[in-house]
A and B are shown apart, each in its own frame.
Chain A
Amino acid sequence: MKITRRFLGAAMAAAIGASASMPAFAQSATQGLSSESVIEAIKERGALKIGLSLFKPWSMRDLNGDLIGFELDVGRQLAEDMGVEVEFIPTSWDGIIPALVAGNFDVIISGMTVTPQRNLTVNFSTPYAYSGMTILANTAMTEGFTLADYNSEEITFAARRGATPATVIAEMFPKATLLLFDEDGAATQEVLNGNAHATMASEPGPSEDARDNPETLSVPFNQAFKAGGEGFAMRKGDPDALAFFNSWITARTNTGWLKERHDYWFRGAEWKDQVAQ
């Protein structure tokens, strides 16, 4: 009797599970929606909603709690050029794609590296940034390593889940173990504690970390490794939005504005006193 009841419970649980997977049949609805571009929705609303997850120096909070960073400059300029207001919606990394799909924002501008696997799920604009990554290593653990030595099963890398460095590490060092954490700080901490050999980040981050901890950390190669580039991410089935954002990025790349802003946040140090260290 007890078993029967348990099986009944299992059957009910399975039924609920199946109900959750039912939306699989909703695919045909996509075509109907695609005719209504998000660009139209933005113009009607008079506001552009941008999703991002906070990540230095792409986007961060200054001492007053206001959002600043490269993404914020890009987002504000984009909205200004469209003639609409801008609204930034900070979202945790794990929830950013579901929130985009659910329509909580129109586009994600959050340092997303374009990869073919991701591109199968969302649409990417042409890259608006190309970040160079440098390796930050635990000095004692990587004594005398050449670049090829890092591509070994005994090597452990740490990185923030979903960030560009994670993609670059997986690409450059496929044999190494890659540990993914939720925050940048945790990844650097792993290297500092000797639980991982190295991590990667865009300059000036690694050089500063090495300067703060000269006994344990170092930047072994004076060389930046490039990812495929970062693009805006948007929902599938909206060719108008893709075309609009691509044209905007191309125009802003040609005038040199994107490079100038990128250099300001990634090479300069003028903004350092605005944020807590």
Chain B
Amino acid sequence: MTAAPDIFAPRGKPLPQPARVTQVIDSVTFSVALYAVIIGVILYVSYTGAQAMGYNWQWYRIPQYFYTVTEDGFQWGEIAFGLVKTLQLSATAFALATLLGLLVALMRLSGLLIVGAVSVGFLELIRNIPLLVLLYLFYYVLGPVFGFDRYTASVLCLAVFHSVLISEIFRAGIEAVAKGQWEAATSIGMTRGQAYRYIILPQSIRFMLPPMTGEVVHMVKSSAIVSVIAVAELTTIGRNIISDTYMSFEIWFTIAAVYMVVTLILSVGVSMVEKRYAVSQ
């Protein structure tokens, strides 16, 4: 064994220094300054715009819609109630969408001609209908036929719409597991089901987790659409408060902020889970 040379001497010329302009543009100082300028312009424009409108802002009327403290004690307000309903609706629909999505993905990967075709047909059908039209179909057409109430119709509509997106996430995750894993599983005598259960799905979860987070956030946001069929949830509550008080500006900013807080908490939470999962791998 001969020892490697102590000093690694690269051959060829070093990379040229980037141009002075590029260096300035890439610097942290420049980025922060640019950010400050852009935000400053947005602030200035919205401030002057609001002044020109002369709108009488009534932010002090907003907290009562979150909670009130009366002689009877603490009471949750309408927005808090709507938020709970939104979370409940999204969670139910997401659970259902995951099950349905897994089924569609497995059908598609089954290798059986008819089953695969059914799955692709379902996928293309749902993916090419706008969510609003799908909701009207579920509520006004399928609702009376199968006797759904508005809540069931919304849960089913959201679940079906998201199941096709989730099924593609599952498919990508499963296909991302190296082919050798399948061969290894088969060679030790595992059936297809066992291979999925013990070898493939546990590994593919790592690939699925990041896009699934996006899907959860997407679900919370698209649940707002059920306000058109008067299901009680955050957006519906917001619109109802506006029709009672005419405070369009304050209420819409508030509702948007509530959605943002929820989805940010979800993303941060899941990214922590992701990190933990990565360590244990």
Contacts and interface: CB of A to CB of B under 8 A. Distances in A.
A5 to B, nearest CB: 10
B243 A166 contact: yes
A17 interface: yes
Given A24-B57, A101-B55, A6 B267 contact: yes
Contacts of A118: 244-246
A94 B236 CA distance: 12
Interface residues of B, number: 48
A261 B269 CA distance: 61
A237 interface: yes
A250 interface: no
Interface string B41-81: 01100110111111111110100000000000000000000
Interface in A22-46: 22-27, 29-30, 32-34
Q: Could you tell me the dominant secondary structure of chain A's interface residues?
A: helix
A23 B57 contact: yes
A102 B53 contact: yes
Interface residues of A, number: 52
A166 B253 CA distance: 24
Nearest to A112: B246
B195 interface: no
Interface in B232-253: 236, 239-240, 242-249, 253
Given A17-B260, A20-B253, A26 B51 contact: yes
Contacts of B248: 94, 97-98, 101
B271 A26 contact: no
Contacts of A61: none
A21 interface: yes
B242 A235 contact: no
Contacts of A25: 47
Given A20-B253, A120-B61, A195-B150, A179 B230 contact: yes
A180 to B, nearest CB: 6
A32 B54 CA distance: 9
B4 interface: no
A181 interface: yes
A121 B54 contact: no
A27 B53 CA distance: 10
B13 interface: no
Contact of B242 (A2, A29, A94): A94
Nearest to B57: A24
B197 to A, nearest CB: 30
B246 A23 contact: no
Interface stretch (A8-16, A67-75, A263-271): A8-16
Contacts of A93: 243
Given A22-B46, A120-B58, A98 B249 contact: yes
A101 B58 contact: no
B55 A189 contact: no
A12 B39 CA distance: 9
Contact of B54 (A22, A30, A115): A30
Nearest to A7: B268
B55 A16 contact: no
A211 B22 CA distance: 77
B228 to A, nearest CB: 7
A204 B69 CA distance: 45
Interface in A181-207: 181-182, 189, 193, 195
Contacts of B52: 29
Contacts of A30: 54-56
B275 interface: yes
B144 interface: yes
Interface string B92-119: 0000000000000000000000000000
B271 to A, nearest CB: 6
Given A3-B268, A236-B56, A193 B144 contact: yes
A16 B39 contact: yes
Interface in B133-148: 140, 143-144
Contacts of B264: 10, 13
Interface string B248-278: 1100010011001000100110011011000
Given A22-B46, A23-B46, A30-B54, A121 B245 contact: yes
Given A2-B275, A3-B275, A30-B56, A180 B239 contact: yes
Contacts of B55: 23, 26, 30, 101
B149 interface: yes
Given A22-B50, A25-B47, 19 more contacts: A3-B271, A10-B264, A10-B268, A13-B264, A19-B42, A23-B51, A26-B55, A26-B57, A94-B242, A101-B249, A120-B58, A121-B247, A161-B243, A180-B236, A182-B228, A193-B143, A195-B150, A235-B54, A237-B56
Interface of A: 2-3, 6-7, 10, 12-13, 15-17, 19-27, 29-30, 32-34, 93-94, 97-98, 101-103, 115, 117-118, 120-122, 158, 161-162, 166, 179-182, 189, 193, 195, 233, 235-237
